[in-house]
Chains A and B, each alone.
Chain A
Amino acid sequence: MSQPRFSKDHEYIIVDGDVGTVGISEHAQAQLGDVVFVELPAVGDKVAKGAQAAVVESVKAASEVFSPASGEVVAVNGALEGEPSLINEDAMGKGWIVKIKLSDPAELDELMDEAAYQDFLKTIA
């Protein structure tokens, strides 16, 4: 299991073999507030890098989750239906949103590692 990589839109991807687990970062969940609903894609859907994979809703806001990499959705986190709060409680772990079978692993190189992401957060504060 690799280290998470981050996009400028605050999604992360954790790659294991050719499957990446995607969610939103700690910063993103704090920005949104209490998550109340997640609109998930269907297993089998194809997503392109930068295209909408899911939508996370809080009471006052809605945020698109853009896929950090291209591929096919092989799993969605059904637990979010009953417990959308998982994203707030454990965004990087139990609050994962979709798993994608990567079609072009080279795309990962364009993403930031944890340290670069933290630096990025400082610039937009």
Chain B
Amino acid sequence: MLNNQGRPTRSGETSSAAAATFTGNRALDMEEALIFETGRLDATGVDIDEPPPFASRLGAHARKSEIGLPGLSEPEAVRHYVRLSRKNYSIDAGLYPLGSCTMKHNPRLNEKMARLPGFADIHPLQPTSTVQGALRLIDDLARTLMAMAGMPAIAMSPKAGAHGELCGMMAIKAAIEARGEGATRNVVLVPESAHGTNPATAALIGFSVRSVPTGADGIVDPAAVKAALGPEVAAIMLTNPNTCGLFEREIAAIAEAVHEAGAFFYCDGANFNAIMGKTRPGDLGVDAMHINLHKTFSTPHGGGGPGAGPVVLSKALAPFAPVPYVVIHGDMLRLVEHRQDSQAFGRMTAFNGQMGMFVRALSFILSHGADGLKQAAEDAVLSANYIRVCLNDLMSSPYGDRPCMHEALFDDRWLKETGLTTLDFAKAMIDEGYHPMTVYFPLVVHGAMLIEPTESESKASLDLFVMTLRDLAHSALGGERERFTAAPRLAPRRRLDETRAARQPVLKWTKPAPA
């Protein structure tokens, strides 16, 4: 099922321009050109001495053409990137209510630890006798994640959540093939509410996707699952808590039905922040679950990545875990890097996985401890419910007064009479100094608004957020339009013409033709 719910993508109405300045700057809100417009081709901000003359061994392979990229001195570079950085919203600057993304605080201790030379300045292929501390860290994190998940095995190498999904589904496919059912079990069940990576992952490795409907109460009905199961089904992919912010309370029955039918249970662990320390996926019947270290375990989002997606595995899937993995050999740790005679299904990536993220995640886990992690989950869930009850007299929710987990879901029915859309509401939040919540996801709800505060917000912060949304909601319901349709008016940029970007793609800078 493709996502076919579109929405307006033009710039919309213009409004009166602010006072013009010579530079185009507005005090601290500064315009910044591209480096290709300000840099010079012969400039460089790195001092490198020319080597003394020597006999080249490049042969005919030497580059003769110009690359065409300018350089900047260090002061120019610093100014360029500092000015650009100031055009970004960030967790450090404000509440980032993106449902499903878990925008929690990124502790700076993690950054310090990750930069210790003993972690940052080691090569993945050094003799293992020279990196025992690194292998020990990976092993410690692995054991901790397994303990949190209640599962006996783990694959540490996937580089992101979607990569982890791929790893888990590959392990399932390998297990099915080992049973001799590879030719017959070629369907994967995916709820309509699933994140797009789920069906994309299944399709990538040759499964066809069968949709399972989400019930009116927002969760998956075991009867619907049973109806969809059959000897052709390899696995079900569920998110728990699900993308509507609800705990799949029938999960045990679903797991049982899936296993009885000879299929496997893949769990998308994106929302693990809600349940860590409260329940364990292994106890719920999960066979494989990826954990987004950049969500639950605070590794920084960095403007879009890098992530890390280790996958906990059940006993049935453990033999198929990919290389590489760490094993204990007497008093030394070793890396198994080749499948050889094992049933490992293969390799997900070169080298050893996202060590930089492992250090940060372990630093987070050690800091919180068992008590802190449980408290974090409880605070995340409490904060989401607090927001839910503070807004649900004004904003409609598909599941009524039902408690949510770590994220609260609203839809756009309450906006219907106003003629305003979820998008308009979101853009108006920007002018108030907030990044909008996740919008238009999950697809099963019209004009979805998914709010996830995380455990990192003080009560004062939550209260201000709630009051701001109430002010906006009253405004919308009271008939105000420009506050929404012209928004954002105060951001570094107003609404963009995304239609033009897609119809006439300009994907890099090219030198303008001489006038």
Contacts and interface: CB of A to CB of B under 8 A. Distances in A.
Contact of A34 (B5, B10, B440): B10
Interface in A74-125: 84-85
B4 A33 contact: no
B8 interface: yes
Contact of B6 (A33, A55, A64, A84): A33
Contact of B3 (A33, A37, A62, A84): A62
Contacts of B130: none
Contacts of A34: 8-10, 499, 502-503
B5 A61 contact: yes
Given A36-B503, A37-B502, A85-B503, A58 B2 contact: no
B445 to A, nearest CB: 16
Nearest to A52: B2
A121 to B, nearest CB: 16
Contact of B8 (A33, A36, A37, A64): A33
B7 interface: yes
A63 B499 contact: no
Given A59-B498, A60-B440, A31 B503 contact: no
Given A34-B499, A37-B502, A58 B9 contact: yes
A58 B501 CA distance: 11
Nearest to A28: B4
A40 interface: no
B3 to A, nearest CB: 6
Contacts of A31: 4-6
Interface in A56-72: 57-64
B2 A33 contact: no
Nearest to B504: A36
Nearest to B498: A59
Contacts of A62: 2-4
Given A55-B2, A62-B3, A64-B4, 16 more contacts: A32-B6, A33-B9, A34-B9, A34-B10, A58-B6, A59-B6, A60-B3, A60-B5, A60-B7, A61-B2, A61-B3, A61-B4, A61-B7, A63-B2, A84-B503, A85-B503
27 contacts: A31-B5, A32-B4, A34-B8, A34-B499, A34-B503, A36-B499, A36-B502, A36-B503, A55-B2, A58-B9, A58-B502, A59-B6, A59-B9, A59-B498, A60-B3, A60-B5, A60-B7, A60-B9, A60-B440, A60-B498, A61-B3, A61-B5, A61-B6, A62-B3, A62-B4, A64-B2, A85-B503
Interface of B: 2-10, 440, 498-499, 501-503
Interface of A: 31-34, 36-37, 55, 57-64, 84-85
